[in-house]
Structure 1
Amino acid sequence: MKPSLVLKMGQQLTMTPQLQQAIRLLQLSTLDLQQEIQEALDSNPMLEQQEAGDDYDNSDLPGDQSGQGSSEAAPEGSYSDLYESPSSTAGNDQEEGDWHERIPNELPVDTAWEDIYQTSASNLPSNDDDDWDFTARTSTGESLQSHLLWQLNLAPMSDTDRLIAITLIDSINSDGYLEGALEEVLQSLDPELGIELDEVEMVLRRIQQFEPAGVAARDLSESLQLQLRQMPADTPWLSEAQRLARDYLDLLGNHDFSQLMRRMKLKEEELRPVIELIQSLNPRPGSQIEASEAEYIVPDVIVRKHNGRWLVELNQEAIPRLRINPQYAGFVRRADASADNTFMRNQLQEARWFIKSLQSRNETLMKVATQIVEHQRGFLDYGEEAMKPLVLHDIAEAVGMHESTISRVTTQKYMHTPRGIYELKYFFSSHVSTAEGGECSSTAIRAIIKKLVAAENPKKPLSDSKIAGLLEEQGIQVARRTVAKYRESLGIAPSSERKRLM
């Protein structure tokens, strides 16, 4: 086949650098966005944070910056309250005053943002930065192993026993239990040391006296016995609880209370405080030592009721107010191709696009949050049982955006309501048909199941089939396996495990 040149015309979707940056900022959480803004402030001299009491005109920012939030179920205040720009009188002459008119609004679509500008995230802090706290950014919570090793260093012990203790501590999992048999621990030690199994057992008992109580146990029964052993001797029903944890823990796990009373020769009113003492113990003692960092949630949107109407507004305290520095912006000169002027022009363009992307993010977030509140007024007024079915397509159609955009907006974004703080994705749920031909949200069904279980007779808990029957009486047609799925998602045990002595 002879090669030839063929000219074709076609269309394809491309992303400009501005759109790439806007999408990246859109999917950031509030805490990540705060860090991104701080890095932009540190790296771009054209950007600065507005101080309280400063007042500048918005006329120099691209696009419409004067849009106000609507009232009912809509934002209060303007987006210009968050992001400000200097007036066009910042320069001393016409050549410096119209800097905003000479910067192009678009870049070629076949370029990436990183090809034009170095991302602020790549700017690592220097060692002489007094505001950069190395400990706050690199430290992690204390692990269970480090907590046990700290106690080991305070315990008088021979070098051989210390080696055995370190090996045992390495074999303890995050729940506080010893993984593997002592014989396996013994095999991992150097045979030339001549260590016997009795020595390993003795060191294990030393470690079991460490905090938290119940650590280094080989099973649940041993862990409960260790915790009971550290209680005061005058604790009521202590001996009976130790006997139950040692000999009859399987009966308690199966909720076979009649057999348990027969074996322990206790009456029901006597067995009840014994079980309560057992239930006061921690089945996962290692969980008391958390190795993970605390996660903080900053709400992006605040919903409140005023004069009988639900109002939606951005959390203005979460994001600092930005503006373009008028002094540096006035240094940008026309028809000057020097390296310094080119650098300032690029920085100015990046600052303008950054502010515009932030405004676009907040406008989109506000539109989506407003529509969510419009759909879920029943939840705000009456609780989870009044939650309506809602999917991404419903919000996307209401605001005129793509579902992928709605998914980015609702991920890691939180709404503060009088009922608590919820992720925006919480308000989306599938639906189940009702007997009257309507729809019921899966979130509302979970709330009803939780309410039914809370009001059940502890001696005769409701089975999944019985719950499905009660829901059908309310006009909600749900299969038994669906009830089981919702029950498990709520962390509710099966009926056989919910049986209690009352």
Structure 2
Amino acid sequence: MLLQPKLNVKISQRQVLTPGLMQMVSVLALNKLELREMINTEIVENPVLEEIESNDPSFEELAGREGDRERTAEETAVKEEKDPFEEIDFGSYFQEYLDPGFRTGNLGGEELDKPSFENFLSKPSTLTDHLLWQLGSVHLPDEVRSAAELMIGNLDENGYLVATDEELATALREQGIEHPEAALEEAHKVIGTLDPAGVGARDLKECLLMQLAAREREAEAAAERRASYRAQKEHEDDFSVEIDRRVEDVEKLAAEHRSCVMRIADAIVQQHLALLQKKDMRELVKECAQSPETVQEAVDVIRSLDPRPGQRYNNAETRLIEPDVAFVKRGDEYVVVMNEEDMPALRLNAGYRRMMHQKDADRDLKEYVKERYRSAIQLLRNIEQRKNTIVRTCEAIVRRQHDFLEKGIDGLRPMMIKEVAEEIGVHPSTVSRAVSNKYVHTPQGVYELRFFFSEGVNGPEGGDLPLVLLKRKVKKLIEDEDPRQPYTDDYLAAELQRQGIQITRRTVAKYREEMQIPSTHKRRVR
């Protein structure tokens, strides 16, 4: 078979993003803090861009000053020359002969090595840092210390050990430790004595047991300190001796009761943790064979424990929120005001513009300046386009959410991104980027712009009800229920339907799970 080349014409359409369009898309998605950081970076990288200070003259003032300077130069040319003696800077000339005691320069001309201010900045301590700091004050054999450091390095954000014993033992063997199992066992005991109690556990049961053991050690240490204090105390009369004896008897009874409660709490965690999770107090009392009051005390002790002890040292840093826009009421209407406080005001450097018109300037230099000017102008246009898009989007939000601004969240109306995009004449993705990660200051508080966009369900009187309000109604019904007879999803759906909201049981269960509310069986307290 003979193969011959052929020419075929194929017509297709595809969207190509130019660098300017890509920058416009990225600038639109930035919030105020990110945009300010981006502008500062551009000012450093692009010499054509410069920030306008509050006391800087305007372009018209600069043009006027340039004209005055030229006229002054022409007038000075016809005047007689100045005396050269008057142009001498006597202050700098005699500076070396002034009293050196008033000079602030470094002796010997050497620069002193000053500490950086970064050394004084604090950073949040992590769980790993906190545990390693405590481990450094404990005297341990080298192999046990290596095992403890390895275990601490394999804790998750909750303080649980995620690596298996086999993986840890293999890692220790690679370090040359002959008996890794024994080292790991001893290291686990050491970690169990560190703060916070419960770290290093493999599961919830072990975590709670470790915390109960730590409380027992604290109670025993306190009892020993009290006994030591009484033994060292010198009594002056029989009355004081009798008082101390009675106090000792009361403390002994309290210690016996506490020990009984702790044993019950330990047994519940060891054998009946599932019943505790179900809140089945009747069955717990039966299994523990103790009085309901004593079992309740044990349950209260368990509930006071921390199931995620590592979280207190792994908290996320506080996120700084600065609203990009504000809805301000003027008269009877709300207006959109962009928050441009602390935003750098940009302008183009006039000196580089004159450089491009110089005939003796280098050609490559001219091309570089032209490219920098194009980049700067494109950035200024994209920043202005971002502002216009955000303002138009927020104006559409204000028109649709007037009741929310007046009454609060109960006045919120369902609103879709597609509807706002059609109203202002842009693509829905543009509106999505305009409201992404941006916040607005309203009379009702600070909200994310995406908060105002939610689907609606068929509510009472034929109107649409936002999903936010629907979830609030579901949560409110559950909060008001009797813990011994919690509402089922069927009852919640029926109750909402009686209020005129068309909703099914499956939808109620879906929203309940999204709000991380347990099922009816798990909410019931027996």
Settle same-fold status: TM greater than 0.5. Answer: yes
Pairwise CA distance, 1:214: 1.1
Pairwise CA distance, 1:44: 1.7
Question: Does 1:155 pair with 2:126?
Answer: no
Local SS of the residue matching 1:190: helix
Q: Deviations over 1:89-147 (max 9, x none)?
A: 37958xxxxxxxxxxxxxxxxxxxxxxxxxxxxxxxxxxxx9x998999x986543343
> In the alignment, what sits opposite 1:422?
447
- Structure-2 separation of matches of 1:229 and 1:378: 56
Question: Does 1:480 pair with 2:505?
Answer: yes
> In the alignment, what sits opposite 1:440?
465
Pairwise CA distance, 1:36: 1.1
- Structure-2 separation of matches of 1:206 and 1:397: 64
Question: Which 10-residue stretch deviates more, 234-243 or 161-170?
Answer: 234-243
Q: Deviations over 1:25-80 (max 9, x none)?
A: 112233322221011111122222222354636xxxxxxxxxxxxxxxxxxxxxxx
Question: Does 1:216 pair with 2:200?
Answer: yes
Question: Does 1:30 pair with 2:13?
Answer: no
Structure 1 residues 141 and 291 mapped into 2: Cα distance closer, same or farther (>3 Å)? farther
> In the alignment, what sits opposite 1:120?
none
Q: Deviations over 1:343-381 (max 9, x none)?
A: 333323322221121111011111112212322233333
Contact kept in structure 1, 2:280 and 2:525, CA below 8 Å = no
Contact kept in structure 2, 1:140 and 1:291, CA below 8 Å = no
Structure 1 residues 483 and 146 mapped into 2: Cα distance closer, same or farther (>3 Å)? same
Structure 1: which 5+ residue stretches go unaligned? 58-85, 94-129
Structure 1 residues 41 and 133 mapped into 2: Cα distance closer, same or farther (>3 Å)? farther
Structure 1 residues 326 and 202 mapped into 2: Cα distance closer, same or farther (>3 Å)? same
> In the alignment, what sits opposite 2:90?
none
> In the alignment, what sits opposite 1:123?
none
Local SS of the residue matching 1:462: coil
Contact kept in structure 1, 2:143 and 2:183, CA below 8 Å = no
- Structure-1 separation of matches of 2:427 and 2:508: 33
Question: Which 10-residue stretch deviates more, 351-360 or 179-188?
Answer: 179-188
**Alignment match of 2:520 (pick from 490, 495, 500):** 495
Question: Does 1:282 pair with 2:284?
Answer: no
TM-score, normalised by the number of residues in structure 1: 0.75
Local SS of the residue matching 2:162: coil
Once superposed, what is the RMSD of the aligned Cα atoms? 3.7
Contact kept in structure 1, 2:405 and 2:442, CA below 8 Å = yes
Question: Does 1:43 pair with 2:52?
Answer: no
**Alignment match of 1:346 (pick from 371, 374, 377):** 371
Local SS of the residue matching 2:327: strand
Letter in 1 for 2:397: I
> In the alignment, what sits opposite 1:301?
325
> In the alignment, what sits opposite 1:369?
394
Pairwise CA distance, 1:421: 3.1
Question: Does 1:52 pair with 2:35?
Answer: no
Q: Deviations over 1:406-441 (max 9, x none)?
A: 121122222233444332222211221236433222
Letter in 1 for 2:414: P
Structure 1 residues 450 and 379 mapped into 2: Cα distance closer, same or farther (>3 Å)? farther
- Structure-1 separation of matches of 2:472 and 2:395: 24
For CA contacts below 8 A with separation 6 or more, give which structure has more relative contact order. 1
Local SS of the residue matching 1:310: strand
Letter in 1 for 2:338: L
Structure 2: which 5+ residue stretches go unaligned? 68-113, 220-253
Local SS of the residue matching 2:462: coil
If you compute each CA radius of gyration, which structure gives the higher value, 1 or 2?
Answer: 2
**Alignment match of 2:417 (pick from 384, 392, 395):** 392
> In the alignment, what sits opposite 1:323?
347
- Structure-1 separation of matches of 2:399 and 2:504: 30
Structure 1 residues 385 and 318 mapped into 2: Cα distance closer, same or farther (>3 Å)? farther
TM-score, normalised by the number of residues in structure 2: 0.71
Question: Does 1:249 pair with 2:273?
Answer: yes
Structure 1 residues 44 and 188 mapped into 2: Cα distance closer, same or farther (>3 Å)? closer
> In the alignment, what sits opposite 2:63?
89
Contact kept in structure 1, 2:144 and 2:186, CA below 8 Å = no
Local SS of the residue matching 2:380: helix
Local SS of the residue matching 2:136: helix
Structure 1 residues 309 and 241 mapped into 2: Cα distance closer, same or farther (>3 Å)? farther
Answer 1 or 2: which has greater helix percent.
2
- Structure-1 separation of matches of 2:479 and 2:404: 20
Local SS of the residue matching 1:422: strand
- Structure-1 separation of matches of 2:164 and 2:19: 59
Question: Does 1:450 pair with 2:475?
Answer: yes
- Structure-2 separation of matches of 1:213 and 1:90: 74
Pairwise CA distance, 1:162: 1.4
- Structure-2 separation of matches of 1:184 and 1:343: 58
- Structure-2 separation of matches of 1:56 and 1:390: 44
Letter in 1 for 2:364: A
> In the alignment, what sits opposite 2:127?
144
Letter in 1 for 2:50: E
Contact kept in structure 2, 1:300 and 1:415, CA below 8 Å = yes
Local SS of the residue matching 1:48: strand
Q: How many residues get paired? A: 434
Pairwise CA distance, 1:156: 0.8
